[in-house]
Amino acid sequence: MSLLDGIDAVVFDVDGTLLHAGDPGGVVGATPIAGAAETIARVRATGRRILFFTNGTGRPPAQYAADLRAVGFELADDEFMNPAVVAARWIARRHPGASVLVLGGPGVVAPLHALGIDTVDGRADVVLVGWDDALTYGQLRAACDSVWAGAPLLATSTAAAFSVGGGRAPGWSGAVVAGIRQTTGVTARTLGKPAPEALREMCRVLGTVPRRTLVVGDDLGLEIAMARRAGARAALVLTGISRAADVDTLPADRRPDAVADAIAELPFE
């Protein structure tokens, strides 16, 4: 049976699934995994809708898409999405007119501004944490003051680590919101993988529903967990974080529908 039977759209993780990057802020110096670009083209040729999704928010979405094209992947700008886009859409829908304090760089801010959302440097209605190279005490204090005053705390990712160059790199936003939680006692709402809200937002963009969506990724705790929580089909590749032995530790209803050494070996026919 093909993984695509009954499927309208396919969501592909990037790092560890399609390529190995050496830069946690993007795909600079990335090495595509053998057969990945050809597999994407093969799935696209079936007429299914495609979305590239990474938890990375170090660069604006359009730049991520351009970087992927530069290393051989065919995609339009609107076929790339990350948690910064999810967060912007979430805030616009759930907190219309709210001001947002962003602990993050241009990659986090750009999707907010694209939707006309106001970002501020001090106390705000909403606090959003994403990728950045630096954090000042002033920003941390403004975030805690906002949360103490009732602002929801949102995070683009709370993943402890992610795949870089075939190995691991520590997550940033998860570490930052852990510090804010330590200070305020408030737990962040995650809007990136593995939160099912992330996949539901992707499905809104794709015009489909989770049960007719396939998620392909390298991390049982991120892509596969997100797919299962939202009711989507899932496929694991062993070119990134998780290993085949890890699958056996999961309950049956949390396991992927397929496991392959690499993306080119998944049963798409």
Q: What are the tens digits of pLDDT across the range 124-133?
A: 999 999 988 8
Residue 269, pLDDT score: 79
| CA 145 to mean position of chain CA atoms | 28
How many structural domains are present in the chain? 2
Q: Is 93 exposed, middle or buried (0-12, 13-18, 19+ CB in 10 A)?
A: exposed
Residue 208 pLDDT grade (very low, low, confident, very high; cuts 50, 70, 90): very high
Residue 180, pLDDT score: 97
Structural domain includes residue 160: yes
Q: Same domain, yes or no, for 39 and 117?
A: no
Rounded to two decimals, what is the model's pTM?
Answer: 0.91
Q: Same domain, yes or no, for 185 and 90?
A: yes
Q: Same domain, yes or no, for 197 and 252?
A: yes
Q: Same domain, yes or no, for 46 and 100?
A: no
Structural domain includes residue 3: no
